[in-house]
Amino acid sequence: MRVSRFLLSTVKETPADAEVISHQLMLRAGMIRKLAAGLYTWLPLGLRVLRKVEAIVREEMDRAGAQEVLMPAVQPAELWQESGRWNQYGAELLRIKDRHHREFCFGPTHEEVITDVIRREIRSYKQLPANFYQIQTKFRDETRPRFGVMRAREFIMKDAYSFHLDLASLQETYDLMHSTYSRIFTCLGLQFRAVEADTGSIGGRSSHEFHVLADSGEDAIAFCDTCDYAANVEMAVSRLPAPSHEAVRAKEKVTTPGIRTVDEQATMLGISHERIVKSIVVMADDKPAVFFICGSDDLNTIKAAHALGAITLRLAEAAEVLAVTGAPVGFVGPLNLPATLTVIVDSQAAQTHNFSSGANQVDYHWINLNWGVDVPLPTVADVRSVCIGEQCPRCDGHLSIRRGIEVGHIFQLGTKYSQALNATCLDEQGKATVMTMGCYGIGVSRIVASAIEQNNDAQGIIWPNSIAPFHVALLPMNMHKSYRVREAAEKLYDELCAAGIEVLFDDRKERPGVMFADMELIGIPYRLVLGERGLDEGVIEYKERRTNTGQNIGLADVVAFMQAQLTQ
Ligand code: ATP
Ligand code: MG
């Protein structure tokens, strides 16, 4: 490709509204342009990278025996009503009406559509297992679209759905997808980690997320420094410390005027945060519930929702806390709460002796409360978030926490959708059986941004070879003044192209500095500089973007040399 014929829209200034490096660099390199919040146009440079990611994903899915399909982006409401998600999905679902006032949505995911297709197409167990995938545009009306294509509203996903006669067959395909995803992210040149994950609103049995490790990641992932335990902090667990066998003291009510926070309580009462049991009032599916956790801990809202079997969960407003418990925020405690309230105590807080907590009365707390002595022990569940350094649940190692960007997610759905949509097939005995399903997503457009998060420097992007928009930047110096340079550059360009190498040939009338800066910004892995002096010696100057090292190469050897670099 000649730069003179290519829309190279590089920008020097860092765009003001781009918070993360990948978003800044994608705009500066001229890969994407914003149309509206969460909606982006892929310019030619960006699209070349996106297509390479797609190609790797497609190749590996095909290798794993999945069959490609393409489903409509617009989906009829009736299917979503059949699965029950029309009402559950909430504001992320973009609902639209056609000219006949029929309701549709713009698909955020395709479980309903594929299940509808398969219930019509597959009749017999002999056609199973089967795995279908597509690479397609999704729309989710995200609360906070941000970081460019990383959390967009319209984005490209590879989604796959597998169908089985039984769970054993699902497990096989699930394991195959797990290893296929590992191959994909390895091919893409990314540092990643597979972690145990929550099944979220799609629902189902077990699930793993694939995370690209990067400080800008929106997710926190916990992993053991010794064994291979790794989980999203949304569901990570740690081993409980051994319970202490402290003597029970007599409870005492103390005045604590204006003392509402755990810090204030600890200072005034001269006790550690671990000895404080704090209350957190929530509204789960619009019903109130109270959680009690240690003062030093954070309530994990995902675990909390699971503990209640709720779909939505939010912290209660101050007025709701008062209405529900009879006490204002800061003074709610387990003793003498209204008996009808749902109360859950975290497993660690349940082990605490002689603790302090609110007295359900303004400006009063109890000290030396004990479960089972002063207050009956409520339902116990693990609802806290793990912290760095805690013990691994599987071995004697300790947990570290790092940030990750979720680029893939695999689920064992079970019969959630096939049951609702009555997707059955005949088993060996000729009996109609509800099919078992798995689903497997990859954020194709998000991968482009995550790759940049892991591969950049002060000059710009450094593409891994597998997804670079071009392999080589061919930069002739002052070609417009030198016939020799032009002739040699044109010849080399033809030879490299003929060898299947993707070359960006900078034939602009630009100063060398401008060319170098542009090629570094857009991240081309290899650079070849051709000038009068080199021609005198019969060499070209070669440089690697990642290591910033290079050497002179004989003109006759360039093609073979570049081929060798690219097949490394
Ligand atoms: P997240 O927690 O980041 O919102 P999710 O759990 O909603 O992701 P899935 O429903 O599992 O995502 O979708 C499959 C993949 O699609 C994700 O792993 C992610 O890589 C990608 N993805 C999801 N939402 C977006 C988005 N708003 N923009 C870009 N990619 C996305
Ligand atoms: Mg989401």
The protein residue whose alpha carbon is closest to atom 8 in ligand 1 is 406
Q: Is 483 exposed, middle or buried (0-12, 13-18, 19+ CB in 10 A)?
A: exposed
Q: Which amino acid, residue 289?
A: A
Specify the pLDDT at position 96.
Answer: 97
- Residue spans of the chain under pLDDT 50: none
Specify the pLDDT at position 450.
Answer: 98
Residue pair 454/211 in contact (Cβ under 8 Å)? The answer is: no
Distance 224 CA to ligand 2 centre (A): 26
Distance 273 CA to ligand 2 centre (A): 34
Residue pair 260/295 in contact (Cβ under 8 Å)? The answer is: no
Specify the pLDDT at position 370.
Answer: 96
Give strand pairing partners of 432: 426
CA 357, CA 335: separation in Å to the nearest integer? 9
CA 201, CA 434: separation in Å to the nearest integer? 21
Neighbours of 346 (CB within 10 A): 25
Specify the pLDDT at position 243.
Answer: 85
* Torsions phi, psi for 173 (to 5 deg): -65, -40
Q: How far, in Å, are 457, 466, 521 from residue 189 at the CA level?
A: 17, 7, 19
Ligand 1 atom closest to the Cα of residue 210 is 18
The protein residue whose alpha carbon is closest to atom 3 in ligand 1 is 406
Residue pair 454/193 in contact (Cβ under 8 Å)? The answer is: no
Distance 211 CA to ligand 2 centre (A): 14
Pocket of ligand 1 contains residue 154 by CB under 6 Å: no
Specify the pLDDT at position 205.
Answer: 66
Pocket of ligand 1 contains residue 406 by CB under 6 Å: yes
Q: Which residue has the tokens 């779909």?
A: 311
Pocket probe for ligand 1: among 112, 154, 406, 412, the residue whose CB has the most ligand atoms within 8 Å is: 406
Specify the pLDDT at position 453.
Answer: 98
Residue pair 507/527 in contact (Cβ under 8 Å)? The answer is: no
Give strand pairing partners of 367: 252
Per-residue pLDDT tens digits for 490-531: 999 999 999 999 999 999 999 999 999 999 999 999 999 999
The protein residue whose alpha carbon is closest to atom 7 in ligand 1 is 200
The protein residue whose alpha carbon is closest to atom 21 in ligand 1 is 443
The protein residue whose alpha carbon is closest to atom 2 in ligand 1 is 406
Distance 279 CA to ligand 1 centre (A): 32
Residue pair 326/338 in contact (Cβ under 8 Å)? The answer is: yes
CA 373, CA 15: separation in Å to the nearest integer? 61
Tell me the Ramachandran region of residue 255: left when phi exceeds 0, alpha when psi lies from -120 to 50, beta otherwise: beta
Per-residue pLDDT tens digits for 298-333: 999 999 999 999 988 999 999 999 999 999 999 999
